[in-house]
Chain A
């Protein structure tokens, strides 16, 4: 599973960890995140992320 980096703030989405604070379970692929998921650090949208 690929990691994705936020181009605005540098936060890295690691699918192994997910984003539990925002209801995303570990082992969730970036592609499977809901469309309205946002960067937990700066609030940028999914489209602002690039594959690491």
Chain B
């Protein structure tokens, strides 16, 4: 995609990764973009780069705007390789006067590329540099989502270049939020938050508060992935506020894997109980659902209900995958329960309960085990478990 002027003399010069479907274990059904921004001023400045294999797209776009050798400054807001993979080759061409990064950014760049000779200039929160007509203020955002992460804010333009925050994995020919379907955009944003930022929610809360305190004006947020926010800046900030407060709806997810359909029968009966209490419910079969979609559905759910058959005295591997993944992302403010069919030993429920306790999910029931194939009475107990969970949701979540 050719460069696009997003504000006077400020260009998107990134690359679109139409084909990527697995982003380090995060399913990207609609690809992604790696956004890079170029400001033409007395000091020509490039913000962030792209993946190694898309270097030619970036350089082609830069050349359409300006001779790359005329770039004076390169700002690295985040060291992860989707934004720096091509950096050694790009810096060899550009030969910038300075490479701006955070303290941890310099450390992490050295640990990735082992280049002591680059002209690093370490900046801290509150530091400002002049580009001529414009300036750049830096705001360190450690652990959002790496120790090196920072924002670059251009006050004269009310433009926030926000690194990975507010991004989405979505490959489009459009570059602005108001040019695409809004509900799909928010869905991609929610998936990004759930899979990348959820565990740092307390820091997101602090960041939103400090942005408010600083009173900085933002009329455009340019993230390093996906669409640029210009019409819905308030909406995405509000969404980040809700997600980082772990706000839940009257919603439950029932996630299961099954061997001979018995645990599946239990799952469906639990779902019936939840629905009869008026709870919005998603039944999720792990044989056909990716872990990153499970955690996206979990984001605004109040109840997480997990079921697995017992296999070899343990849980099914797909369940172990999802529980390990969700545990690491530290969902908050959830209730939950476990269930599963078994043949002789039946450890699955106990193992799932252990995960839920580690996740600080409040168990509303000790869990339900059924030997081999559930009969009518067993399924009635499953429906009752669903109702019980639904009633607790209604007690905790206002309508």
**Residues of A with Cβ closer than 8 Å to B?**
8-10, 41-42
Contacts and interface: CB of A to CB of B under 8 A. Distances in A.
Q: A-B pairs with the 8 shortest C-beta distances?
A: A9-B143, A9-B142, A10-B142, A8-B147, A42-B143, A9-B147, A41-B143, A42-B147
16 contacts: A8-B104, A8-B142, A8-B147, A9-B142, A9-B143, A9-B147, A10-B140, A10-B142, A10-B143, A41-B143, A41-B200, A41-B202, A41-B203, A42-B142, A42-B143, A42-B147
A23 B203 CA distance: 20
A8 B200 CA distance: 14
Contacts of B143: 9-10, 41-42
Contacts of A42: 142-143, 147
Chain B interface bracket (under 10, 10 to 19, 20 to 34, 35 or more): under 10
B362 to A, nearest CB: 14
A9 B206 CA distance: 14
A8 B108 CA distance: 11
Interface string B14-41: 0000000000000000000000000000
Interface string B123-162: 0000000000000000010110001000000000000000
A22 to B, nearest CB: 10
A9 B147 CA distance: 5
A36 to B, nearest CB: 15
A16 B306 CA distance: 38
Nearest to A8: B147
Given A10-B142, A42-B142, A42-B147, 13 more contacts: A8-B104, A8-B142, A8-B147, A9-B142, A9-B143, A9-B147, A10-B140, A10-B143, A41-B143, A41-B200, A41-B202, A41-B203, A42-B143
Nearest to B202: A41
Nearest to B203: A41
A32 B104 CA distance: 28
Nearest to B328: A43
Nearest to A41: B143
A47 to B, nearest CB: 16
A10 B202 CA distance: 13
Contacts of A9: 142-143, 147
A39 B395 CA distance: 34
Residue among B104, B140, B142, B202 with the most chain A CB within 10 A?
Answer: B142
B246 to A, nearest CB: 14
B333 to A, nearest CB: 13
Nearest to B143: A9
Interface in B101-129: 104
A42 B104 CA distance: 13
Contacts of A41: 143, 200, 202-203
